[in-house]
Amino acid sequence: MNTWFSLPASGAVVFLRQVRKTLEFVRLAPFDTSTTEGRSRERYRRVALSTVTSAAAKAIAILTTLVAVPLTVGYLGVERYGLWMALSSAVALLGFGDFGIGLGLLNAVSEADGRKDLEAAREYVSSAFYLLLGVGVVVGTVFAVTSTSVSWGELFNVRSKQAAEEALPAISVLIACFAANIPLWTANRVNMGYQEGYVNSAWEIAGNLAGLGGLLLSIHFRTGLPILVLAVSSGPLLASMANGIVLFTSRRPRLLPRWKRFRADSAGKVFRLGALFFIMQMAGVLMLTTDNLVVARVLGVSEVTRYAVPMKLFGAVPLLVGMILVPLWPAYGEAISSGDAIWVRRTLVGSVRWAAIFSLAIAVPLAVFGKSIVHAWVGPEAVPPLSLLLGMGVWTVMNTAWGAVAMFLNGASALRAQAIWSTVTGAGALGIKIVLARSFGLSGVIWGTVIAQGFLMVLPLSLHARRLLETLAPVSGQGQAR
């Protein structure tokens, strides 16, 4: 068999085998966790359920978007729809506004679950909830105080009087929904910490469908942009609220946040873990979102399209594999805390191997046939050079396989090392990309990312993960950031 086709074929076999294995664990009835094998199978069951429901949630989100976009553009017009998208993007920049507290709670809960320490879990949940509530209040207050001093219509460069008048009330609705949702993230992170991400996906589906329903009603009654934004945004917000109500009144009532369970030490631990996650997130943004800016600055805006379009193809691979890898994060945390080192080692090795083979099987044909694919998809003006496609292929395989290692490090709360090396990589990558872009053109940007990420983050942190894996004892430590 030709080498070019053997890799995709073998990757397809591995992928189908993994899908079949995953589907074997898709069942509602839990496994008996009184034995080591039973606990192992239960972890895989929860990973499988989370993977399947996450895929379903993303499919529903894509379908609702396909339905909503033409309806909304037709109703609002190009400028008012563009205003909504611009305002939404501005609010999305606040997505890290919880300072990583939610992710810190995820780790703390999975660790407490592994130790079967309900009291610790209750303190973590209550402490994190009131921290997040405080963040939400601060966000809402700061906006309320400063919003009237900003000319939102001029800021977003709208021209019609109607759009200018609707800008402030529309962003007020978005900020209000965002601030209200911050403490509600508690339920989402608790579910993830207990390896029940599939519950979040179910509510996400309900929220997206409710948002679509709100959009249709708003268009039917011919409302303005602020009411339309409220109708669409309230769906996911109500779903988050319902998620929390069901979690804390029915599924896990003993975790209901109460002020008397707020503990300074628990809040401090969640905040410290969250701060490290926040640093990692910021470094990731610096490393992965500056490519288009570097291309525009060094090579010109006209070259951005030739870079961004193929990157959308390659970038989908880590996102796709991530649906399987992310649920492993809390599973590692629980397994390490409960002392199941054998499961951790077996799962980590298997997930890295599977992620590498699958991503290689997709990256090879994308690199080989990428020019033809982009030409047929977008047109001749976006066709990238082969050197750029090869660089993106290498980045795809490295980034996808690295994602499997990162889930282990996250679950092990090995965050300090990640924060340090991620920061070094984010700063180093920017400089390397600029230098290589000037020397080698468009492909220099992605190869700069590959070199920086490979040598400054993947290599040292992979060695750190190996050392950490070797130190796992039958009974793990207390999950402190390492």
Residue 348 within a domain: yes
Q: Which domain holds residue 232?
A: 49-274
Amino acid identity of residue 125, one-letter, is: V
131 and 99 within one domain: yes
269 and 350 within one domain: no
Q: For 51-89, give the DSSP string.
A: HHHHHHHHHHHHHHHHHHHHHHHHHH-HHHHHHHHHHHH
Residue 284 within a domain: no
CB 112 within 8 A of CB 124: yes
Is 463 or 4 the better-scoring residue by pLDDT? 463
Q: Which of 216, 248, 274 is the last residue of a domain?
A: 274
- The model's pLDDT over 72-95, given as tens digits with 9 standing for 90+, comes to 888 888 788 877 777 776 676 666
326 and 251 within one domain: no
Instruction: Domain count for the chain, please give it.
Output: 2
365 and 302 within one domain: yes
64 and 19 within one domain: no
pLDDT at 482 exceeding the cut of 60: no
- The model's pLDDT over 390-412, given as tens digits with 9 standing for 90+, comes to 999 999 999 999 999 999 999 99
d(CA 344, CA 410): 13
The per-residue pLDDT for 265 is 93
- The model's pLDDT over 320-348, given as tens digits with 9 standing for 90+, comes to 888 889 999 999 999 998 888 999 999 99
Cβ-Cβ contacts under 8 Å for 104 (sequence gap 6 or more): 128, 269, 270, 271, 272, 273, 274, 275, 276, 277
318 and 208 within one domain: no
Residue 135 within a domain: yes
Q: What is the pTM of this model?
A: 0.80
- The model's pLDDT over 348-386, given as tens digits with 9 standing for 90+, comes to 999 999 999 999 999 999 999 999 988 888 788 888 899
The per-residue pLDDT for 477 is 40
Q: For 380-418, give the DSSP string.
A: GGGPPPHHHHHHHHHHHHHHHHHHHHHHHHHHTT-HHHH
d(CA 425, CA 430): 8
363 and 317 within one domain: yes
Residue 41 within a domain: no
The per-residue pLDDT for 346 is 92
Q: Which of 243, 274, 305 is the last residue of a domain?
A: 274
